[in-house]
């Protein structure tokens, strides 16, 4: 259900100011798989089109689905300034990734940047994977990414407000500081409740703040692997980061899956 959690309603317009390595390193990774699996691509939880637009700029045809009006508005606005050839490669629709029906199969389906973790119940996770399975070509691949918990998480995960990144908007001169805090964890159900906080300081010194809540399911390696395998997928490759390092050696779980034959 759409209740604002995980949908970036307040800060969608600031989302693309994030320029950390993790939102740059994944682009060549997805371009690589798009070239290896030619055909239509589906990006679930496409957000502002960060990945979709890069794929379309490289000639790929991509459908982007997201549940957030604010993120999709950003995506549409960005698309307006793209050449027609890029615009013609992209279709955007508002859908819940746990329940969608498109009249098409895809050779590549991706859920980048940990977005699958926005689904916090087993029902929605399994329903999303069922939809992915139904829309994936028999010879296609599905790529899913979640963060790797740095340890067995417990109440010590809770943390106070801390700066994550900061930058200056060159157009306005505004300083943007992205902070986050982790006020609550549900260890039994493996859900964390971080809050994203954006502080904007205008050149004249006026300060604004906006906040968006997140609820994210976290997985340990065997749990995510079991969930995928019991949903009809086989894991073809697994990596710990977008530079394709070993799964044991990174902060991410990245699984490249095919349909179980
Ligand atoms: C971390 S952002 C990732 C956006 C984009 N894929 C990227 O990599 O930059 C998570 C996205 O998931 C979307 N989202 C959250 N829950 C969703 C759901 N149930 N169905 C579809 N999109 C959802 C949010 O609106 C947001 O755009």
Contacts of 100 (CB under 8 A, 6+ apart): 65, 131, 135
How far is the C-alpha of 192 from the C-alpha of 146, rounded, in Å? 13
Between the CA of 115 and the centroid of ligand 1 the distance, in Å, is 5
Ligand 1 atom nearest 111 alpha carbon: 6
The CB of 115 under 6 Å from ligand 1? The reply is yes
Give the DSSP letter of residue 46. Answer: -
Whose tokens are 């746990």? That residue is 98
| pLDDT given for residue 1 in this prediction | 43
Q: Kindly state the tokens that stand for 220.
A: 């340990």
Q: Domains in the chain, start-ordered, CATH in brackets?
A: 12-149+218-259 (3.40.50.150), 155-216 (2.20.25.110)
Ligand 1 atom nearest 47 alpha carbon: 27
Could you give the angle at the alpha carbon of 178 between the alpha carbons of 191 and 148, nearest 5°? 35
How far is the C-alpha of 66 from the C-alpha of 175, rounded, in Å? 28
Between the CA of 206 and the centroid of ligand 1 the distance, in Å, is 30
Q: Is 69 helix (H, G, I), strand (E, B) or coil?
A: helix
How many beta carbons lie within 10 A of that of residue 193, not counting itself?
17
The CB of 67 under 6 Å from ligand 1? The reply is yes
Between the CA of 168 and the centroid of ligand 1 the distance, in Å, is 24
Q: Kindly state the tokens that stand for 144.
A: 């899913």
| pLDDT given for residue 2 in this prediction | 56
Pocket test for ligand 1, best of 20, 66, 124, 147 (most atoms within 8 A of CB): 66
Report the sign of the C-alpha dihedral through residues 181, 43, 250, 17, in that order. Answer: negative
How far is the C-alpha of 70 from the C-alpha of 47, rounded, in Å? 9
The CB of 53 under 6 Å from ligand 1? The reply is no
How far is the C-alpha of 169 from the C-alpha of 136, rounded, in Å? 39
The CB of 144 under 6 Å from ligand 1? The reply is no
Strands (E), 187-251: 191-201, 207-213, 216-217, 233-239
User: In a 10 Å sphere around its CB, with 0-12 CB exposed, 13-18 middle and 19+ buried, how is residue 98 labelled?
Assistant: buried
Q: Is 243 helix (H, G, I), strand (E, B) or coil?
A: coil
Going residue by residue through the chain, which has 261 residues, state the pLDDT in tens, using 9 for 90 and above: 457 899 999 999 999 999 999 999 999 999 999 999 999 999 999 999 999 999 999 999 999 999 999 999 999 999 999 999 999 999 999 999 999 999 999 999 999 999 999 999 999 999 999 999 999 999 999 999 999 999 999 999 999 999 999 999 999 999 999 999 999 999 999 999 999 999 999 999 999 999 999 999 999 999 999 999 999 999 999 999 999 999 999 999 999 999 998
Whether residue 128 contacts residue 101, with contact meaning beta carbons closer than 8 Å, is answered with no
Residue 255 pairs in a beta bridge with: 144, 238
The CB of 97 under 6 Å from ligand 1? The reply is yes
The number of angstroms, rounded, from the C-alpha of 260 to the middle of its chain's C-alpha atoms is: 24
Ligand 1 atom nearest 12 alpha carbon: 27
- Could you report the per-residue pLDDT of 134-193, keeping only the tens digit for each? 999 999 999 999 999 999 999 999 999 999 999 999 999 999 999 999 999 999 999 999
């Amino acid at each position: 259900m759409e209740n604002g959690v995980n949908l970036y309603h307040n800060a969608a317009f600031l989302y693309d100011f994030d320029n950390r390595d993790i939102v740059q390193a994944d682009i060549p990774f997805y371009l690589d798989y798009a070239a290896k699996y030619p055909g239509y691509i589906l990006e679930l939880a496409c957000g502002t089109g960060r990945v979709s637009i890069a794929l379309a700029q490289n000639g790929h045809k991509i459908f982007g689905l997201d549940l957030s009006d604010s993120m999709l508005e950003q995506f549409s606005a960005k698309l307006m300034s793209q050449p027609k050839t890029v615009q013609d490669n992209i279709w955007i629709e508002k859908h819940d990734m746990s329940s969608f029906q498109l009249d098409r199969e895809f050779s590549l389906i991706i859920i980048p940047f940990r977005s699958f973790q926005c689904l916090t119940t087993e029902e929605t996770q399994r329903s999303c994977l069922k939809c992915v399975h139904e829309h994936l070509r028999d010879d296609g691949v599905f790529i899913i990414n979640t963060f790797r918990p740095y340890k067995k998480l417990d109440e010590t995960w809770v943390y106070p407000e801390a700066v994550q990144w900061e930058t200056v908007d060159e157009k306005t001169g505004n300083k943007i500081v992205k902070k986050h805090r982790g006020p609550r964890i549900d260890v039994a159900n493996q859900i964390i409740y971080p809050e994203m906080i954006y502080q904007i300081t205008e050149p004249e010194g006026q300060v604004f703040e906006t906040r968006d809540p997140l609820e994210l399911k976290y997985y340990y390696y065997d749990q995510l692997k079991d969930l995928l395998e019991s949903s009809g997928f086989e894991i073809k490759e697994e990596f710990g980061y977008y530079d394709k390092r070993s799964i044991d050696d990174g902060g991410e779980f990245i699984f490249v899956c095919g349909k179980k034959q």
